[in-house]
Amino acid sequence: MSGTSLDGVDAVLAEIGQDGRIRTLRTHYAPYPDALRSDLLALHAPQPDEIHLAACAANTLARLYAAATRALLNGVDPASVRAVGCHGQTLRHRPADGYTLQIGNAALLAELTGITVVADFRSRDIAAGGQGAPLVPAFHAQALGAPAVHRVIANIGGIANITDLPADGGVRGWDTGPGNMLLDAWIRHHQGAHYDRDGAWAASGQIHAGLLAALADHPYLRLPPPKSAGREQFNLEWLDDILGRLGAAIAPADVQATLLEWTAASLADAISRECGKARELYVCGGGAHNGTLMQRLAARLPGVNVATTSTLGIDPDWVEALAFAWLARQTLHGAPGNLPAVTGARGERILGAIYPA
């Protein structure tokens, strides 16, 4: 898995039983080289010769995915691995226009690893009228749900999404808005760091009420689910426009503090509004390591037990990678991977394209 945070590749070796239960055997993380991260960020906006540049970036990604796979296996016979489930790197996510694009050259990855690759998970759901996202709720329901307990799973990556798991089994899920994306972009712009470790820089600032109100006025937040989001909606250019319209000099640390509060507020508001009877919230993704963000979530959700998915036995760093391993297995078994109530698709669909070894 490599997500919208553009930090690197999460790789897991998973064993999945006949009952669909998943067991993590090994993990490996491969950070993105700075040059690749810069190239991928640039490709999120139109530019000259972008088809060639995207194809070259896809080849670079395939080689990085292959190296991560080899490091993960490290002595395990590749022939014993049924498949690699590869999400790829999202460059565009525009379901309203009928497409989403994740690059990674799955054919080259299969060639380099000698292992069957399952990729392009989102396109079939969009073809069926869905958002193509989020896809992880089906896995959350399988691996993290519990009878007679109403809980919510929040994945806070670049974009934040939630899975509502009520006791009656009616699973729902959607992207609530920004997760770490703007926080990472803002600290990178001002301090050159890839992320705000434990939310320390945000904690040093003060929340700016005017900026928070302007952020909260984003029309995406008022849309009912199913819905999904990406860099198209939330980016530095949009943030700079808001700061310009406010017409007041706001200290960079105060902007960071306000962005963190907005992430917490948009998540908590969605849970309170749509999952009102939930009493447990388990967080995964990079945001689970942001202590300041976790504190603000808990403060905004009184009466809800807020913890990370490690409490449920799955390290928050590997939940999404495990989800795509599980989705790849669904594909190979001819089983659906989407939840129409989550994505808005016309029905269940078998997701992904298979590239045989």
For residues 16 and 158, membership in a common domain is answered with: no
Same domain assignment for residues 255 and 327? no
Task: Give the pLDDT confidence of 291-310 residue by residue, as tens digits.
Answer: 999 999 999 999 999 999 99
Q: Are residues 327 and 197 in the same domain?
A: no
Question: Is 293 within the bounds of a domain?
Answer: yes
Residue 3 covered by a domain: no
Residue 231 sits in the same domain as residue 127: no
Residues 274 and 141 in one domain: yes
Q: What is the mean predicted confidence (pLDDT) over 80-95?
A: 97
Q: How far apart are CA 28 and CA 317, in angstroms?
A: 10
**Residue 151 shares a structural domain with residue 235:** yes
71 within domain boundaries: yes
- If asked whether residues 303 and 323 sit together in one domain, one would say no
Q: What is the pLDDT of residues 116-167, one digit of tens each?
A: 999 999 999 999 999 999 999 999 999 999 888 999 999 999 999 999 999 8
Q: Are residues 118 and 184 in the same domain?
A: no
Sorted by sequence, the CB contacts under 8 Å of residue 139 that are 6+ apart come out as 322, 323, 326, 327
The answer to whether residue 205 is domain-embedded is yes
d(CA 124, CA 130): 9
Q: Give the pLDDT score at 168.
A: 81
Asked if residue 206 and residue 333 are part of one domain, the reply reads: no
Average pLDDT over residues 253-274: 97
Domain count, the chain: 2
Pair (44, 172) in one structural domain: no
**Structural domain contains residue 2:** no
- Token digits of residue 29: 């993380």
Among 284, 276, 269, which residue's Cα sits nearest to residue 140?
284
| 21 pLDDT tier (thresholds 50, 70, 90) | confident
3-class DSSP assignment, residue 47? coil
What's the domain range around 27?
8-132+317-355
Largest Cα separation within the chain, whole Å, is 61
Q: Long-range contacts of range 41-49, CB-CB < 8 Å, 24 or more positions apart?
A: 41/6, 43/91, 44/91, 44/92, 44/231, 44/235
Residue 266 above 90 pLDDT?
yes
Measured distance CA(223)–CA(8) in Å, rounded: 31
Segment 90-97 shows an average pLDDT of: 95
Q: Is 67 helix (H, G, I), strand (E, B) or coil?
A: helix
Whether 282 maps to a domain, the answer reads yes
Q: Report strand pairing: 172-178 vs 117-119.
A: unpaired
Q: How confident is the model at residue 222 (pLDDT cuts 50, 70, 90)?
A: very high
In sequence order, which residues have a C-beta less than 8 Å from that of residue 181 and are 6 or more positions away?
A: 4, 5, 158, 159, 231, 234, 235
Sign for the CA dihedral angle at 252, 255, 259, 264 comes to positive
Per-residue pLDDT of 98-123, as tens digits, reads 999 999 999 999 999 999 999 999 99
As a whole number, mean pLDDT of residues 210-230 equals 95
Residue 168: Cβ within 10 Å count: 9
What local confidence, expressed as pLDDT, does residue 19 receive?
Answer: 81
Same domain for 207 and 333?
no
The tens digit of pLDDT for each residue in 22-73 reads 999 999 999 999 999 999 999 999 999 999 999 999 999 999 999 999 999 9
SS3 content of the chain, % helix, strand, coil (to 5): 45, 20, 35
**Cα separation, 142 vs 146, whole angstroms:** 9
Per-residue pLDDT for 339 more than 80?
yes
* Total count of residues recorded for the chain: 357
Contacts of 245 (CB under 8 A, 6+ apart): 214
Q: What is the DSSP string of 283-324?
A: EESGGGG-HHHHHHHHHHSTTSEEEEGGGGTS-TTTHHHHHH
**Mean pLDDT, rounded, for 257-262:** 98
Distance, CA of 348 to CA of 189 (rounded, Å)? 42
- In this prediction, residue 84 has a pLDDT band, given cuts at 50, 70 and 90, of very high
Which has the closest alpha carbon to 104: 86, 92, 121? 86
Indicate whether 284 and 160 sit together in one domain: yes
Rounded-to-integer distance, Cα 249 and Cα 26, Å: 48
Q: What is the CATH number of the domain that holds 14?
A: 3.30.420.40
pLDDT of amino acid 5: 87
20, pLDDT greater than 80: no
* pLDDT confidence of residue 107: 98
- Asked if residue 1 is part of any domain, the answer here is no
